[in-house]
Structure 1
C-alpha cells in the first residue's frame, strides 16, 4: 500500500559533452531492446505522425495571484523541470526573509521542501523545528520518490509566491539538515538520498497538487501511522522512530494557506516545438474562480481521490491509476509495442518513428475522455543538448497499473487542480483541462 506519493520524478541530466540519462528506479524497470530512431534532420518524425499540439498561451504573470514558470537549464541541467521563485520568512518576521529561485513546480506532491544549504544561516536558524510527543523530540520526515527520498526536519515558515502569502507560518520540510546517519534505513523508502541541490536537480520542491497536506489521515491515525507514516520523532536529531502526526503539523500545501485565491491552482504552459526547444515560459495562477483571470474554462473536469489520482482510467484495455503530474519530465507508462532506448537512454522510449497513443481518463464523477499523447524517440530529442523543453518525451514505468501524464501534456494547455476541501464541507478534489 502506498500511503504517501510525492510525484514520480524521472530525471535526465544533460551534460555539455554528452547526453547522460539518470532515469529513476521506476522508469528503468522492465527490459526490452529496440532501436533508436533516426536523427534525420529533414524528417525528425521519421515518417510517423504526432497528434495536433494544443495551442493555449499562458496569461501574463503580472497579477498578484500569478508567478512566472520557467522551464530551462535550471541549476543542474534537468530537462522538463518547471520552476518558480518562492520567498521564505521566519515566523513573525518581515525582514528575516529570503527569495529562492529554481523551486520545482510539482502538482503530484503536496507541500514545500527546500534544500537547507540554499538558505542563509540567519534564516535557517530562525525557522523553529517542530517537536512531537511529550519528550519534545524533533519532527523529521522522509519524503519518498520513485527514484529516491528527501530527509530532513519539519520547520515552520511563512511562505510567499508571487503576490500571495500564507496567513500564518506553516510546516515545511528542510531537506538535508539532519545527518545522513540519522536516516531510518528500513523505513525511509528505496533509492538514493536526494538531499542536495545536485541530487535533487532543483533548490526545492513546491507541491501544489490536490491535497492540502502531504499524508493526511494515514499519518494522523496512530494505528496506520505505526506502519505507514513518513514522519519520525528524532531525539536530539538521532534515534528516529516512526510517529503519528496531527494534520496541523504535517507539511502543508502553501497555496491552501494563502489569505486569498486558496482553493486551487492553474498551471499554464505555452506550446513548444515537437522537436523540443531551449526553454518555455509559463504562468502559475492561484485560485480558481476567485478573480477575473482564473475562471474555470476547462472542457472537462474530473473529480479525483484526495491525492489527485484518476483510479479508473484505462490504457490498452487495462485499468490504470492515471495522474497529471508536472513533476514528471515525461509520460511514463508500460507499452511493449514501443521500442525502448538502450545505453545511456535506457528507460526512455525510442520508437523508430513518431507515435501516437491514447489513454482514457476517468473521473470519480464519471467524466470520461480520451487524451492523445505524442511520442518521439528520446535519442532524437536529446540529440540537441541545448533543448530543455519537450512535449513528446516518454518512458517506461514498472508494471502496467499506472499512467503518469507528465509535463509534456501540459504544454499548450491550462491544467486546473481543485483542492480537496471536503473536510470543511467544501468541494471535492478535481483536475481539469
Structure 2
C-alpha cells in the first residue's frame, strides 16, 4: 500500500511537545478523512487534542463524539478529536479526525458485528493511520440527516455510546478540502512496474488539479464522473458492476469464476491479459477500455515485494480497481462541489 507522512498538532500550536510526526500513514482514495492510531500519536498528545462535541441527538450538546469506520478489511473505532494536520507542506487547520483505539470508550456491539475485524493496531491496520483523500469532503454526509448504523456515536461515559446524527462540520473530513489553496483534489503518480513486481516504489502525491504548473490536467484525459458515493460502473466479460478506484486496496478485486483462486488471490496458471470498460455517470461521456494483467497471487507474494501491478483478489460484490491501477499512470481525484475547467467534481481522471 502507498504511505505518506503527516504531522499532527494541537490546533494553532506548533512545537515538538505539541505535535507528532507519523510515518506510514496509508494513502487511501477509497475513504475520506484522517484516522491515526492513538499509539502513533503518543498517549499525551492523543489525550490533549480537543474533543469533538455537538452531536445532533445529544441532549446536552457536550458529549464526546466517537466513530466506527468500516472498511473492507475491518473497522476502526475511536474518538473524534480536532487537530492541525500537515502533509507535504500543506496544513489542514483545526479539522476533525479519528484517533483509533484511544481507549476512551468501549466499542459498541453493532460496530463489532458489522466491522468484524478490529483494525486498532499497526499490525492489523498495516499502517499507523489512514489519510483518506477520496472524492468527498466529509466521510458520511448522510449522517447529518439520518442516524446511520455503525457510524457516529455520542458517548456519555466510558461504557455508554449511542448512535447519532452529526452536523457536517463535526464529521471527519478530507484534509485536502480543508487546505487554503490547491484544495480541489489530488494526483497520485506512480511509475510502471516490471513483471513480477518491485521491492519498493517512490511516487508523488500532488495537491490541487489545474491550480499550478505541476498539476495541470492532460490535454485529452479519460474522465469518469462519479455518483454521490464516489462510484462509476465497470463492465467486465459482459457483466456490469458498481466500481471504485481505491489506492488503499493492494489488488484489483472482482468476480471471475473462470479463473482459479486460492484464499485471497487469483492463481491463473499463466499471467492473463484482460480488459474492462469503465463508464462514468455522465452517459454522454465516452467509456474507457482499460487493459490489465492478472498473475498468480501466491507466486507474486513469494518474493515478498511491496508493489505488484497484476495482483487480483476474488469478490462477488463490486469491481474495485486497487493499487495495480495506479502504476504507470497519473490518477486525478476531484472532490465534489468543485469545478475544474468545464468538468464538475466529483470525478476520476487518468
Deviations 1:183-221 (A, max 9, x none): 1112452321111111111000000010000001x1000
Gap runs ≥5 in structure 2: none
Counterpart in the other structure of 1:53: none
Deviation, 1:229, is 5.9
After TM superposition, the structure 1 = structure 2 runs for residues 82-121 of structure 1, keeping only pairs within 5 Å, are: 82-95=2-15, 96-121=18-43
Counterpart in the other structure of 2:329: 413
* Alpha-carbon distance in structure 1 between the residues aligned to 2:96 and 2:59: 19
* Alpha-carbon distance in structure 1 between the residues aligned to 2:189 and 2:318: 24
Deviation, 1:277, is 1.2
**Is 1:350 aligned with 2:276?**
no
* Alpha-carbon distance in structure 2 between the residues aligned to 1:422 and 1:104: 25
* Alpha-carbon distance in structure 2 between the residues aligned to 1:283 and 1:428: 22
* Alpha-carbon distance in structure 1 between the residues aligned to 2:107 and 2:200: 37
Counterpart in the other structure of 1:59: none
After TM superposition, the structure 1 = structure 2 runs for residues 56-75 of structure 1, keeping only pairs within 5 Å, are: none
Deviation, 1:99, is 1.1
Query: 1:87 touches 1:97 (CA, 8 Å); kept in 2?
Result: yes
Deviations 1:326-358 (A, max 9, x none): 0000011000111112xxxx1200000110221
Counterpart in the other structure of 1:383: 302
Deviations 1:12-66 (A, max 9, x none): xxxxxxxxxxxxxxxxxxxxxxxxxxxxxxxxxxxxxxxxxxxxxxxxxxxxxxx
After TM superposition, the structure 1 = structure 2 runs for residues 319-334 of structure 1, keeping only pairs within 5 Å, are: 319-334=240-255
Query: 1:90 touches 1:126 (CA, 8 Å); kept in 2?
Result: yes
**Is 1:172 aligned with 2:92?**
no
Q: 1:410 to 1:350 in 2, by over 3 A?
A: same
* Alpha-carbon distance in structure 1 between the residues aligned to 2:345 and 2:307: 32
* Bigger Cα displacement from structure 2, 373-382 vs 277-286: 373-382
Deviation, 1:359, is 1.6
2:117 to 182, 192, 195: 192
Query: 1:138 touches 1:237 (CA, 8 Å); kept in 2?
Result: no
* Alpha-carbon distance in structure 2 between the residues aligned to 1:286 and 1:190: 31
**Is 1:183 aligned with 2:107?**
yes
**Is 1:159 aligned with 2:76?**
no
The structure with the largest strand share of the pair is 2
Counterpart in the other structure of 2:208: 287
2:158 to 237, 247, 256: 237
* Alpha-carbon distance in structure 1 between the residues aligned to 2:168 and 2:181: 21
Counterpart in the other structure of 1:205: 130
* Bigger Cα displacement from structure 2, 252-261 vs 134-143: 134-143
Counterpart in the other structure of 1:392: 310
* Alpha-carbon distance in structure 1 between the residues aligned to 2:171 and 2:184: 19
Deviation, 1:321, is 0.8
Q: Cα RMSD (Å) of the superposition?
A: 1.6
Deviations 1:395-428 (A, max 9, x none): 101x2x41010001101100000000169xx932
**Is 1:270 aligned with 2:188?**
no
* Alpha-carbon distance in structure 1 between the residues aligned to 2:73 and 2:192: 28
* Alpha-carbon distance in structure 1 between the residues aligned to 2:73 and 2:209: 32
Counterpart in the other structure of 1:50: none
* Alpha-carbon distance in structure 2 between the residues aligned to 1:126 and 1:264: 31
Structure with greater contact order relative to length (CA < 8 Å, sep ≥ 6): 1
Deviation, 1:159, is 0.8
Deviations 1:73-117 (A, max 9, x none): xxxxxxxx1000001110121111121100000000000000001
Deviations 1:279-330 (A, max 9, x none): 00000000000000000116211110133210x3312212211111100000
